[in-house]
Amino acid sequence: MTNNDILRRLRFVFDFSNSKVVRIFAKADYEMPTELLIDMLKKEEEEGYRPCNDSIMCSFLDGLIIDKRGLREGSEVPKPVSQLGNNLIFKKLRIALNLREDEIIALLALADFGMTKSELGALFRNPEHKHYKKCGDQVLRNFIKGLSLKYRGK
């Protein structure tokens, strides 16, 4: 999945307007011009499409965390990372939505995707850990689909 797909899908899941997405970026100290956002929400084949890089996507996810949960007391807005993989995207969504393992498994089940607690735990481990597992597009796609089914219905 591209960052643009993820941004588009999350905007749909939470029914965010363009102005709300711009405000979420602002919470992470990122000034997102509405015109750029509109171009990033377009599909690749559409005229004016602009790719959403990892740093921009990270700013959106950090802004979403701040929007949903607030900043930790005494902490600052995190600096965006330059390399953003599916594992970190999944982790940031989990944090933003304050989800426990059983809730994530239930969301995946809504999308007809089965996963055990140990399989899920491997996705959130440190990459240096011997039981770390890379999160594939299929897992992330089904998680977002489960969110969509929960928040938007069928």
CA distance 153 to 146: 9
Give the pLDDT of residue 137.
96
* Three-class secondary structure of residue 81 per DSSP: coil
Amino acid at 28: A
| Mean pLDDT over the full length of the chain | 95
CA distance 39 to 56: 13
Query: Which among 120, 90, 126 has a CA at the least distance from the CA of 106?
Result: 120
Q: Which residue has the higher pLDDT, 73 or 103?
A: 103
b or e along 73-106 (b: 16 or more beta carbons within 10 Å of the residue's beta carbon)?
Answer: eeeeebebeeebebbbbbebbbebbebeeeebbe
Q: What is the DSSP letter of 140?
A: H
Give 54-95 pLDDT, tens digit per residue.
999 999 999 999 999 988 888 888 898 889 999 999 999 999
Query: Which among 46, 50, 45 has a CA at the least distance from the CA of 7?
Result: 50
Give 6-34 pLDDT, tens digit per residue.
999 999 999 999 999 999 999 999 999 99
- Is it the case that residue 35 has pLDDT exceeding 90? yes
Amino acid at 116: T
Give the pLDDT of residue 28.
96
Give the pLDDT of residue 112.
96
